[in-house]
Structure 1
């Protein structure tokens, strides 16, 4: 069975791939607006892990809507949520049996509600899987420590292929660099370099 996993090159989506590959033929799929070249980081991670890789283009109108929403709200949650659902819809358009992402139990954003998951499944005739939905942050960190070689640091210093970097770039373009630091909180981000040797 073919599964397309929405992939950023970070620890969560990588762990989701590792959990699912016993049951599915997993292809890692990065969704982007074409604003930056950060999607290449996900491609490098996919190669290092031995997975197939694809890239899908997102609708630029969704990016503009998300940036306007982020700026108007003064925080990124609703804009990122909008983009995540759109990205899952684009991935669901591929010829696959199932789609998945790396959302965790304690994520504040993005999340996929039961109704959103059922809507995706009904509209695109796919199964939606969220293999990390039962895992908390501490459990994720323990699994990462055991299996993955990762680079960590501030989100601006460790680019990966999530749409947040593209939304940051668009926000700066439309509203100036100061808007990015006002709206996006600093947080630690990880980028996967490969698997640890056992």
Structure 2
């Protein structure tokens, strides 16, 4: 059975994909706002994992709509959650199983129980979050054991996080995104896999 996994190229979604690959035929899905955007670093991360990758495009005008939401709210949480929900709903329309890399201590993006029940009830799909029971410290320990990862601030690390494109859309509206987003937001990008070990 195929599982459509929402994929940024980062450590969390990569680890989730590896876990789901034990039980499902995983297909990675990266969403962008601009259909012309190239994603070579994410493609390489997918190759590292050994799973096929599909680039998908959000509905036209969504980047601008989300930029307006961030500017209106003066914080990005609602917009990021809306974007994430749209991505999951899209995948749920095509796959029997949908997954992502949200963790135990994530706040954004994070779908509520009611949102998950609604999406799954309407689509007939199952939404699986294999890292939901894992705190960040344990995720990082597993990632360090199995993956080679680069880290950096949003806009420096070229992964599939939604934030960089929303920041760009905010700038086109003449606003400064630095006052609307947290000052430090570390991103990750998988660049290789470590050889399997038997260390416990």
Q: Distance in 1 between matches of 2:155 and 2:36?
A: 13
The residue number in structure 2 matching 1:21 is 21
Task: Please report how far the alpha carbon of residue 74 of structure 1 lies from its aligned counterpart in structure 2 after TM superposition.
Answer: 1.4
Q: Which has the higher helix share?
A: 1
For the residue of structure 1 that corresponds to 2:173, the secondary structure is: helix
Alignment of 1:11-90 (within 5 A): 11-34=11-34, 37=37, 39-90=39-90
Partner of residue 190, structure 1: 188
1:86-134: CA deviation from partner (whole Å, max 9, x where unpaired): 111112222x220011111111100011111111111111111111111
Contact 1:155–1:188 under 8 Å retained in 2 = yes
1:166 deviation in Å? 1.0
TM-score by length of 2: 0.92
Q: Contact (CA 8 Å) 1:38, 1:160: kept in 2 or not?
A: no
Kept in 2, the 8 Å contact 1:41–1:161? The answer is no
The answer to whether the 8 Å contact 1:8/1:162 transfers is: yes
Shift of 1:39: 3.3
Counterpart for residue 113 of structure 1? 112
Structure 1, unpaired ranges of 5+: none
Q: SS state of the match for residue 118, structure 2? A: helix
Query: What TM-score comes out, normalization by structure 1 length?
Result: 0.93
CA distance in 2, matches of 1:38, 1:7: 15
- Aligned-residue CA RMSD (Å): 1.5
**Contact persistence 1:58–1:90 (CA under 8 A):** no
In the TM superposition, what is the alpha-carbon distance from 1:37 to its structure 2 partner? 2.7
Unaligned runs of 5+ in 2: none
Is the CA contact (8 Å cut-off) linking 2:33 and 2:62 kept in structure 1? no
State the SS of the aligned residue for 2:61: helix
Higher mean C-alpha deviation, range 131-140 or range 167-176? 167-176
CA distance, structure 1, for counterparts of residue 38 and residue 74 of structure 2: 24
**For residues 38 and 187 of structure 1, what CA distance do their matches in structure 2 show?**
22
| CA distance, structure 1, for counterparts of residue 39 and residue 128 of structure 2 | 22
Matched with 2:100 is 101
